[in-house]
């Protein structure tokens, strides 16, 4: 397991971000926040999938009015996403959110910031300073130029330093930082610099990365190199579409890097000419079956008995199928041979056994 670089730990409604704690998984709703019923429904879906924090957009007074109810009924701490209007930040804190996200690019009035800081201090609420490459303060854009990538990184770090200094000068250190770019290479460079520069936990992500396939590839390309260096204390994978996918991708990324083990990992063979049953359908069915089971288990689903058992021996359990019959195996040993139509039910039984054992051990 890769050790996290030590940072100041920040308490967000009971979830600790930073220190040497595990990477906290978060996402953001895409419902209208004032639609309390559907926002809470999505928050619950995200938490069931494995989210530990959920952010909601605060766009207008109707959203502000909805926050208190959402905070009260949410199964996890709520983060409010604030742009432009400092009064929304203050009202969101007063409504009970555990953290707010501010963008230095669009709230920069010092008096307004001081008012936010005072209320955040009073309510012990954390603030994420979220610098985005697309909204660097104008004076920094002109002084650093934005054509060269290195200059964008420098401008983002300068913007974050300026904001952090202002918060610190006003006695506020309950800070989390993000410096998001849509370019994976820029993301790697910027977060490496940020980790050297700041003692605060880092919220990592590649912004505007795209749809499920493209966004997953871009996010993993940008985030894996920093995660393996111990950088990143909370993560959001930004994808266009259903945010539940963001949690799935977060978990799989962390698991594949050995940073989180609380996930059912399914390995399946790439298939070849020896395959004579619908392996893809079986893999999809087992992925769906296990998607909300947050516990460590490695399952191998392999296309044939010839190579299957050898290829799957690193898994806890698995199946190797064929058109007529297949085998169920556990820790590299064959448990039984069953007809093809019994492979999936038998595998599910075995998964349930492991899940029950895990629950008892907790
Ligand atoms: Fe081919 Fe069998 Fe290997 Fe799958 S497990 S790739 S079907 S040889």
Question: In a 3-state reduction of DSSP, which class is residue 179?
Answer: strand
- Mind giving me the DSSP string for 89-129? HHHHHHTT-SEEEE-TTT---HHHHHHHHHHHHHHT-EEEE
Longest dimension (CA), the chain: 74
**Residue 280 beta carbon below 6 angstroms from any ligand 1 atom:** no
Ligand 1 centroid–CA 322 distance in Å is 10
pLDDT for 188-220, tens place per residue? 999 999 999 999 999 999 998 899 999 999 999
**What's the pLDDT score for residue 260?**
81
Residue 310 pLDDT greater than 80, yes or no: no
Query: With bands split at pLDDT 50, 70 and 90, how would you rate the model's confidence at 141?
Result: low
3-state class (DSSP) for residue 206: strand
Q: Point out the least confidently predicted range of 45-49, 145-149, 154-158.
A: 145-149
Average pLDDT for residues 312-341, to the nearest whole number? 88
CA distance linking residue 297 with residue 316, whole number of Å: 6
> Which ligand 1 atom is nearest residue 302's CA?
5
pLDDT in tens, 214-266: 999 999 999 999 999 999 999 999 999 999 999 999 999 999 998 887 889 99
The CA angle 341-346-347, to the nearest 5 degrees, is 105
Give the confidence band of 165 by pLDDT, cuts at 50, 70, 90.
Answer: very high
Please state the length of the chain.
362
Lowest mean pLDDT segment, chosen from 37-46, 277-286, 298-307 = 298-307
CB of 308 shorter than 6 A to ligand 1:
yes
Distance 323 CA to ligand 1 centre (A): 13
Q: How sure is the predictor about 17, in pLDDT bands with cuts at 50, 70 and 90?
A: very high
pLDDT, residue 349, reads: 96
Q: Are 75 and 44 in contact (CB under 8 A)?
A: yes
User: Quick one: pLDDT at residue 261?
Assistant: 75
Mean pLDDT of the residues in the chain: 91
pTM beyond cutoff 0.75: yes
Ligand 1 mean position to 271 CA, how many Å? 5
> Which of 86-95, 144-153, 174-183, 279-288 is the least confident region?
144-153
- The number of the ligand 1 atom at minimal distance from the alpha carbon of 308 is 5
What is residue 140's predicted lDDT score, i.e. its pLDDT? 63
The Å distance, Cα 269 to ligand 1 centre, comes to: 6
> Residue 338: is its pLDDT beyond 70?
yes
pLDDT of residue 319: 94
Per-residue pLDDT, 277: 86
Our mutation pick for probing the ligand 1 site, out of 277, 307, 309, counting the most ligand atoms within 8 A of Cβ, is 307
Task: Evaluate if residue 139 carries a pLDDT over 80.
Answer: no
Contact 77, 94 (CB under 8 A): no
Q: Which CA distances in Å does 263 have to 256, 280, 282?
A: 10, 20, 19
C-beta of 127 in contact with ligand 1 (< 6 A): no
Residue 256 makes CB contacts below 8 A (sequence gap 6+) with: 265
- pLDDT tops 70 at residue 308: no
Closest Cα to atom 6, ligand 1: which residue? 271
Taking CB atoms within 8 Å and a gap of at least 24, the contacts of 325-333 are 326/277, 329/300
**106 falls in which pLDDT band (50, 70, 90)?**
confident
Q: Is the beta carbon of 112 within 6 A of some atom in ligand 1?
A: no
pLDDT band at 37 (very low <50, low <70, confident <90, very high): very high
Share of the chain above pLDDT 90, in %: 75
Residue 60's pLDDT band, with cuts at 50, 70 and 90, is very high
- The pLDDT assigned to 138 comes to 59
Average pLDDT over every residue of 66-92? 96
Q: Read off the pLDDT of each residue in 92-96 and give the average, rounded to a whole number.
A: 98
For residue 215, report the distance from its CA to the centre of ligand 1, in Å.
Answer: 29
Q: Does the C-beta of 259 come closer than 6 Å to ligand 1?
A: no
For atom 1 of ligand 1, the residue with the nearest CA is 272
More confident residue, 11 or 138: 11
The residue-averaged pLDDT of 156-170 equals: 94
State the Cα–Cα distance between residues 98 and 60, nearest whole angstrom: 19
Atom of ligand 1 nearest to the CA of 273: 1
Nearest CA to ligand 1 atom 7: 303
For 332, the token pair is 């590299």
**Ligand 1 mutation target, pool 274, 313, 314, most atoms within 8 A of CB:** 274
**Cβ of 264 below 6 Å from ligand 1:** no
């Amino acid at each position: 397991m890769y050790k996290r670089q030590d940072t100041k730990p920040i308490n967000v409604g009971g979830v600790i971000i930073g220190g040497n704690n595990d990477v906290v998984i978060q996402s953001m709703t895409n419902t209208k926040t004032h639609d309390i019923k559907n926002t809470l429904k999505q928050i619950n879906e995200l938490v069931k999938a494995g989210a530990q924090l959920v952010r909601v957009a605060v766009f207008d007074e109707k959203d502000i009015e909805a926050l208190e109810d959402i905070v009260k009924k949410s199964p996890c701490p709520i983060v409010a996403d604030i742009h432009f209007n400092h009064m929304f930040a203050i009202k969101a804190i007063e409504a009970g959110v555990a953290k707010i996200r501010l963008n230095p690019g669009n709230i920069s009035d010092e008096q307004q910031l001081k008012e936010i800081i005072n209320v955040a201090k009073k309510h012990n609420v954390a603030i994420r300073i979220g610098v985005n490459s697309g909204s660097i303060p104008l004076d920094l854009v002109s002084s650093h130029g934005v054509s060269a990538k290195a200059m964008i990184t420098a401008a983002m770090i300068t913007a974050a330093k300026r904001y952090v200094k202002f918060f610190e000068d006003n006695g506020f250190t309950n800070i989390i930082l993000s410096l998001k770019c849509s370019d994976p290479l820029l993301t790697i460079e910027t977060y490496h610099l940020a980790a050297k520069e700041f003692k605060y936990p880092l919220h990592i992500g590649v912004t505007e990365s795209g749809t499920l396939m493209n966004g997953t590839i871009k996010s993993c390309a940008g985030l894996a190199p920093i995660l393996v260096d111990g950088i990143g204390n909370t993560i959001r994978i930004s994808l266009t579409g259903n945010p539940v996918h963001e949690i799935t991708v977060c978990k799989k990324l962390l698991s594949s890097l050995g940073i989180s083990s609380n996930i059912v990992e399914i390995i399946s063979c790439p298939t070849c000419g020896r395959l004579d049953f619908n392996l893809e359908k079986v893999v999809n069915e087992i992925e769906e079956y296990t998607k909300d089971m947050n516990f460590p288990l490695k399952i191998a689903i392999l296309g044939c008995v010839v190579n299957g058992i050898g290829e799957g021996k690193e898994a806890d359990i698995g199946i190797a199928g064929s058109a007529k019959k297949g085998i169920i195996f556990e820790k590299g040993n064959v448990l039984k041979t069953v007809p093809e139509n019994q492979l999936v039910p038998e595998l599910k039984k075995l998964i349930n056994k492991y899940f029950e054992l895990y629950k008892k051990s907790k």
